Amino acid sequence: MRNQLFKFLCIVIASVIVFNGCSGLKTEVKTDVKTDGTEEAESKNIIAGGKMKEYRLTVEMENQFIRYLIQEEKSSHTVEKYQRDLKKFVQFLGGQEVTKDLVIEYKKSLSDRYAATSVNSMLASLNHFMQFAGWLEFKVKQIKLQRQVYCPEEKELTKEEYYRLVNTAKLMKKDRIGLIIQTICSTGIRISELIYITVASVHTGVAFATCKGKSRQIFLPHKLRMLLMKYIRQNQIRQGPVFLTREGKPVNRSNVWKEMKALCASARVLAVKVFPHNLRHLFARTYYRMEKDISKLADLLGHSSINTTRIYIVTSGTEHKKQIERMNLIL
């Protein structure tokens, strides 16, 4: 009787193993069946093939993920960001196997160090990797954000501060960075699109930028074209991108960021306000104040959704305060 019972339980255990093996799940089944006090059946962490499934994030997996992103035609900036975010998670793991508890702990550690928007950006990269790896059970929810009505005043770059940065660059004989600042701010381009400002585009007045799988026209204001033509003549640039390093390579994000920060003290502008993307925000706010056409602004910025554009026109609230004061509703 005991032997029959033992055989029956073994059949049940085998069925569980086969079922979970097909679904790719990790299973731990432990059954103690006492017959003469000596018989014991045990099965631990078994999946299809009789091996334990491991969730180890290897260098090869990282490389495969990067190749996948490139094949998906993600922009070089996006690929670099995903790679950077994934390495941050790998460093947090410290060689440990990936578990849901560790991913949740990682999310908490990010929340303790970064703003919610930055955390969500890094989690989006991580979730993309989990999707690629087929580790869907390790994906985590992003932090819920209330729609931002106003941006912090200490981070909003004003037009007056922008003018001071440009004038400071002129006084310091930093022609290239002064012109880069004006180019980004007067066209609303991304720093990654600066490479499309070429000698040819300066002559025609129109640049064609390709970013995130989309192509769009960028119109160059007449005054900007005159400044760029003068710069091209002085630096004897005959073709290709206008803004180059001493080695003749197109300037990158790091070059521009560093040179902009170097202007802050002399221009009396807080360094936290000075970075390339904030110039794009200033362009968006200035355009929206003039036209009040968010759909057209979305086209100019290359946004596929106006919800993204809304983020760009958020102000510190100073204008709203003035408008409320002018309403004269207090007796």
Q: At what angle do helices 222-234 and 175-187 cross, to 10 degrees?
A: 150
Question: Strand 214-219 relative to strand 206-211: parallel, antiparallel, unpaired?
Answer: antiparallel
Is the CB of residue 41 less than 8 Å from the CB of residue 13?
Answer: yes
- Nearest-angstrom CA–CA distance, 287 and 303: 15
Average pLDDT value for residue range 26-36: 39
User: Worst-scoring range by mean pLDDT, 111-125, 202-216, 298-312?
Assistant: 298-312
Supply the pLDDT for residue 85.
Answer: 96
Supply the pLDDT for residue 320.
Answer: 63
Q: Where in the chain is the domain with CATH 1.10.150?
A: 62-138
Give the residues across from 29 on adjacent strands. 43
Average pLDDT value for residue range 186-207: 95
Model pLDDT for residues 200-236, shown as the tens digit of each residue: 999 999 999 887 667 889 999 999 999 999 999 999 9
CATH, range 62-138: 1.10.150
Q: At what angle do helices 159-171 and 175-187 cross, to 10 degrees?
A: 160
Give the residues across from 43 on adjacent strands. 29
Supply the pLDDT for residue 58.
Answer: 93
Mean pLDDT of the chain: 82
What is the percent of the chain where pLDDT is above 70?
77
Supply the pLDDT for residue 318.
Answer: 64
Structure tokens at 269: 């502008």
Supply the pLDDT for residue 144.
Answer: 86
Model pLDDT for residues 266-286, shown as the tens digit of each residue: 999 999 999 999 999 999 999
Of residues 298 and 129, which shows the higher confidence score? 129
pLDDT-derived band at 148 (thresholds 50, 70, 90) equals: low
Residue 297 burial (C-beta neighbours within 10 Å; 0-12, 13-18, 19+): buried
Of residues 168 and 156, which shows the higher confidence score? 168
- Nearest-angstrom CA–CA distance, 76 and 71: 11
Looking at domain 153-321, does it have CATH number 3.40.50.620?
Answer: no
- Nearest-angstrom CA–CA distance, 29 and 137: 20
Average pLDDT value for residue range 298-307: 81
Supply the pLDDT for residue 32.
Answer: 40
Model pLDDT for residues 227-264, shown as the tens digit of each residue: 999 999 999 999 999 999 999 999 999 999 999 999 99
pLDDT-derived band at 88 (thresholds 50, 70, 90) equals: very high
Average pLDDT value for residue range 101-130: 94
Supply the pLDDT for residue 38.
Answer: 34
pLDDT-derived band at 309 (thresholds 50, 70, 90) equals: confident
pTM given for the model = 0.60
Average pLDDT value for residue range 297-314: 78
Select from 166, 214, 209 the least CA-distant residue to 188.
209
| DSSP conformation class of 317 | S
Question: Strand 41-46 relative to strand 206-211: parallel, antiparallel, unpaired?
Answer: unpaired
Supply the pLDDT for residue 43.
Answer: 34
Max mean pLDDT range (19-23, 69-73, 105-109, 299-303): 105-109
Give the residues across from 173 on adjacent strands. none
pLDDT exceeds 80 at position 3 = no
